[in-house]
Amino acid sequence: MIVLDGVTKTVGARTLFEDVSITFSPHNRYGLTGPNGSGKTTLLKMIAGLEEITKGVISRPARLGFLRQNISEFHSLTPIQTVIMGNGRLWKALCRRDELYEQEMTDEIGFELGEVETIIIEEDGYSAESNAQMLLHGVGVSSEYENKPMKEIPQDMQFRVLVCQALFGNPQALILDEPTNHLDLESIRWLEGFLHEYEGILIVVSHDRHFLNAVTTHIADIDYDTIIVYPGNYDEMIVTKSSVRERAAHEAKSKEKKISQLQEFVQKFRSGTRASQVQSRLREIERLQPQELKSSNIQRPYIRFIPSEKAPGKVVLKADNIEKSYDSKLVIPGFSLEVIRGDKIGIIGNNGRGKTTLLKMLAQVLSPDSGTVGLGHQAILSYFPQNHEDAVDKTLSISLFEWLKMRKPGLYDQDVRGALGKMLFGGDDAFKKIPALSGGETARLIIASMMLSEHNLIIMDEPNNHLDLEAVSALGWGLEEYKGTAIVASHDRSLVDRFATKIIAFEEDGIKVFDGPLEDYLIYKEKAQ
């Protein structure tokens, strides 16, 4: 078990956790949720023993797998070696054995070698390399990379190696922070299957709603200044949490009504002969005083894209045999596409295969080396870039309100405030300065500008990056309800599942166009293998 007993964590003047006591049990898979900045990563590091706690005690199993993010520490090692390092006891024994074999053999060294070999056998060291290879193949790291230095393989593959490192060696507990970030859909499905078979304690943070729903048996939610554990997956937690809050709000209203009736009695008979009854009512009023409901972290923006009144022609966008290369590497090889009015296209595929390059060319912010891209009759485009600074100049020391007014002159102030409010910039938040925005806030600001702009074609590149789970859900609804045409690249299955009726997949053997939703494409791909 993992047990937190009276744990408090302060960072500067801010208290992240106060007197938290919670137990994580074997055979349970916990999703750790909470808004950006609530302390999820800090909590994982505390559980793993990599971050000091301010007060309290954390007990943990002896063998714990933790997903590290520090790629640079492993640059000189091969993926196989990096994975085996996930079992610290085995890795130390293997290194010590190599050191001992380089020394002149003596009785003392022979005795130590025997002890080291015993550890290697206990930790299944003679199967370590093949076990590491199986994990690497599962997350899509091909055998050509296995024995190269980490620094010589693509960065997304390096992150996959670190996922394998956390999984290696049958850990009694697994601590995973955003494990799906650099995995393709096939590798995510493999990881889901692996975790379903895992019998230890799993604690995972993920912004992928589909992944959380697929793997978790419980949700540990950071809210109301503490951690509350709910049985079930993320969607089930939302239902339970919302119903509990609605019930508390209903009880508060009932108490207010009862208090009002009692106060009427007190006012009527305060100076009469029913003094004892008045005192009884006053005590009842004091007992019924409702406690103020704490604000919940469940805040969902309202995202609605309204298309221009100008209807486009049947063909909204056309790419004819476009190619793009970088440093003699062909990224987009002679690709053609005809986007029909009303299409909802999801673009999927590994990082580094050219999704952003294609979207930039379709959005006409990047010219192809050859071929042509053109908008159809009366097509009006709105573009969300993966790099937020391509849309929002973070050096501008102006407010969100002023930035939106600049984007579309002639807007009424109430329209701007309304769009900001829908994207959770209420009250004084509307006057935050642009340089102070976080990644998630910047993404919400760009979406607010799209909600105010004129368009009938939307192109978005990884818009879910930096958004929390509820914002991604709201975005999926907004795209599904959009009456125009949408092309969106994303690794988030729940988002693509929600809106896409066509798929463009960047696979190892080229770019595939599939007429159907994501689940149908995955079934088709599985059958084709």
Same domain membership, residue 202 and residue 55? yes
Percent of the chain residues past pLDDT 90, beyond the cut: 51
**270 and 322 both lie in a single domain:** no
Q: Please check whether residue 408 lies inside any domain of the structure.
A: no
Which residue, among 336, 391, 339, has the nearest Cα to 368 in the 3D structure?
Answer: 336
Tell me the mean pLDDT in the region 226-234: 89
Q: Tell me: pLDDT of 288 over 90.
A: no
pLDDT(274) > 70: no
Which structure tokens are listed for 228?
Answer: 């509350």
Q: Check whether residue 227 and residue 255 sit in a common domain.
A: no
Is 294 within a domain?
A: no
Structure tokens at 194: 């692996």
Q: What does the mean pLDDT of the chain come to?
A: 88
Q: Is 416 within a domain?
A: no
326-339 burial, b at 16+ Cβ within 10 Å, e below that, comes to: eeeeebbeebebeb
303 within a domain of the structure (yes/no): no
In the three-class reduction of DSSP (H, G, I as helix; E, B as strand; rest coil), residue 313 is classed as coil
Q: Are residues 380 and 244 in the same domain?
A: no
SS3 assignment, position 510: strand
Q: Are residues 63 and 45 in the same domain?
A: yes
Sheet holding 173-177, edge to edge: 64-66, 173-177, 201-205, 29-33, 218-223, 226-231
Q: Are residues 226 and 249 in the same domain?
A: no
Q: What is the pLDDT of residue 247?
A: 65
Give the least confident one: 123-132, 181-190, 209-218: 181-190
Tens-place pLDDT, residues 387-438: 999 999 988 999 999 999 988 888 899 999 999 999 989 888 899 999 988 8
Answer with the residue of higher pLDDT: 180 or 335.
Answer: 335
Q: Is 357 helix (H, G, I), strand (E, B) or coil?
A: helix
- The percent of residues in the chain predicted with pLDDT above 70, rounded, is 90
182, 47: one domain: yes
Q: Provide the domain count of the chain.
A: 3
What pLDDT score does 411 carry?
86
State the CATH number of the domain containing residue 519.
3.40.50.300
What is the mean predicted confidence (pLDDT) over 464-476?
A: 87
Mean pLDDT is lowest, of 256-270, 370-384, 418-432, 464-478, for 256-270
Residue 511 lies in a domain: yes
pLDDT at 290 over 60: no
pLDDT (0 to 100) of residue 313: 94
Residue 321 sits in the same domain as residue 464: yes
Residue 410's pLDDT is: 84
**Burial group, residue 487, by CB count within 10 angstroms (0-12, 13-18, 19+):** buried
DSSP assignment of 91-130, as one string?
Answer: HHHHHHHHHHHTSPP-HHHHHHHHHHHHHHHHTTGGGHHH
| Mean pLDDT across 324-335 | 90
Q: What integer pLDDT is reported at residue 70 of this predicted model?
A: 83
Domain identity same for 186 and 266: no
Of the three residues 175, 210, 236, the one that is the final residue of a domain is: 236
- Residue 457 included in any domain: yes
Domain coverage including residue 263: 238-288
Torsion of the alpha carbons at 428, 430, 431 and 432, rounded to the nearest 10 = 100
Last residue of a domain, one of 269, 288, 307: 288
**Domain boundary residue, one of 201, 236, 271:** 236
| pLDDT number for residue 278 | 63
Domain assignment present for residue 295? The answer is no
pLDDT, one tens digit per residue, over 69-123 is 888 889 999 999 999 999 989 999 998 888 888 888 888 888 888 998 999 999 9
Q: Residue 146: is its pLDDT beyond 80?
A: yes
Position 142 scores a pLDDT of 85
434-449 as b/e, with b when 16 or more CB fall inside 10 Å? beebeebbbbbbbbbb
pLDDT of residue 106: 85
Give yes or no for a contact between 354 and 332, defined as CB atoms under 8 angstroms apart: yes
How many CB atoms within 10 Å of residue 369?
A: 13
Give the span between the Cα atoms of 222 and 40, in whole angstroms. Answer: 8
Question: What does R_g of the chain's alpha carbons equal in angstroms?
Answer: 28
Predicted structure pTM score: 0.76
Asked if 180 and 100 sit in the same domain, the reply is: yes
In this prediction, residue 246 carries a pLDDT of 60
Q: Establish if 349 belongs to a structural domain.
A: yes
| Same-domain check for residues 131 and 98 | yes
Is there a single domain that holds both residue 38 and residue 132? yes
